[in-house]
Amino acid sequence: MTSVSSVSSVVKALTPLNRIVIASNNPGKLRELEALLTPLGIGPVAQASLGVTEAEEPHETFLENALAKARHASRATGLAALADDSGLCVPSLGGEPGVHSAYFAGRDGERAQRDARNNAKLVARLEGRADRAAFYYCVLVMVRSAADPTPIVADGAWHGEIIAAPRGAGGFGYDAYFLPRGSTLTAAEMPPEAKNRASHRGQALAALAARLRG
């Protein structure tokens, strides 16, 4: 774990009142969170830019993993931290890939290679099934400090189905195979602004913003 002293010089340059460390190294998540947080007047800082390594995610629920990541980033930096834990859930597969979405088909290779294997495994598992319903789920946890006894929690779900062949070059993860309910475009075909408004992550952040305003 990165110590507070190892990042203190960087942290001193930040303004805690409008800066928050994002407990993720996933570039897709970071892009989406930055686009969602900036209009709220919050300057997100990626944990990697402060030398913070990724936290362990040993838990079986999104909430527990998000809380572990938020506390890890806050402990390492002394800043408030925001963590996202999210994934794709397919009811006909017993909720898989769920919290294991990022490593559904193993941990080897770069992120793009893992994504390709994950999607191939998902499509293979669904072959011949009539029920292809799925939903993306996201839980956001914000802590004011590593020992914050009352973390702020918000979540969101984005329902749709898994199609057999990929469509679109945008997004990341399972987006090219995820067709949102009521949409003719997959998540990978949607313009980023439209996806951010509709997505599980956008819904969770809207709920978080409402709680912060309250």
Q: Assess whether 85 carries a catalytic annotation.
A: yes
Highest-confidence segment of 54-58, 80-84, 162-166: 162-166
pTM recorded for the entire structure = 0.84
The predicted model gives 44-62 an average pLDDT of: 89
Residue entry with tokens 């030398």: 51
Confirm if 14 and 77 have CB atoms less than 8 A apart. no
Closest-CA residue to 20 (of 142, 126, 191, 184): 142
pLDDT at 6: 35
* Cα–Cα dist 22/79, whole Å: 10
Distance, CA of 146 to CA of 58 (rounded, Å): 18
For 170, which DSSP code? S
Note the pLDDT of residue 1.
41
Q: Which of 85, 115, 155, 175 is catalytic?
A: 85
CA gap 55, 50 in Å, rounded: 14
The rounded Cα 69 to chain-centroid distance in angstroms is 11
pLDDT of residue 18: 63
- pLDDT above 90 covers a percentage of the chain that reads 66
Q: In b/e form, how buried is each residue of 198-212, taking b as 16+ CB within 10 angstroms?
A: bbbbbbbbebbbeee
Given the DSSP bridges, would you call strands 152-162 and 81-89 parallel, antiparallel or unpaired?
unpaired
* Cβ-based neighbours of 112, under 8 Å, separated by 6 or more: none
Which one-letter DSSP state was computed for residue 94? T
Strand, helix or coil for residue 72? helix
Query: Looking at residue 44, what DSSP letter applies?
Result: E
pLDDT digits (tens, 9 = 90+) for 123-177: 999 999 999 999 999 999 999 999 999 999 999 999 999 999 999 999 999 999 9
Q: How confident is the model at residue 214 (pLDDT cuts 50, 70, 90)?
A: low
Rounded distance between C-alpha atoms, residue 193 and residue 202, angstroms: 10
Domain 4-213, architecture per CATH: Alpha-Beta Complex (3.90)
Cβ distance 115 to 188 under 8 Å? Answer: no
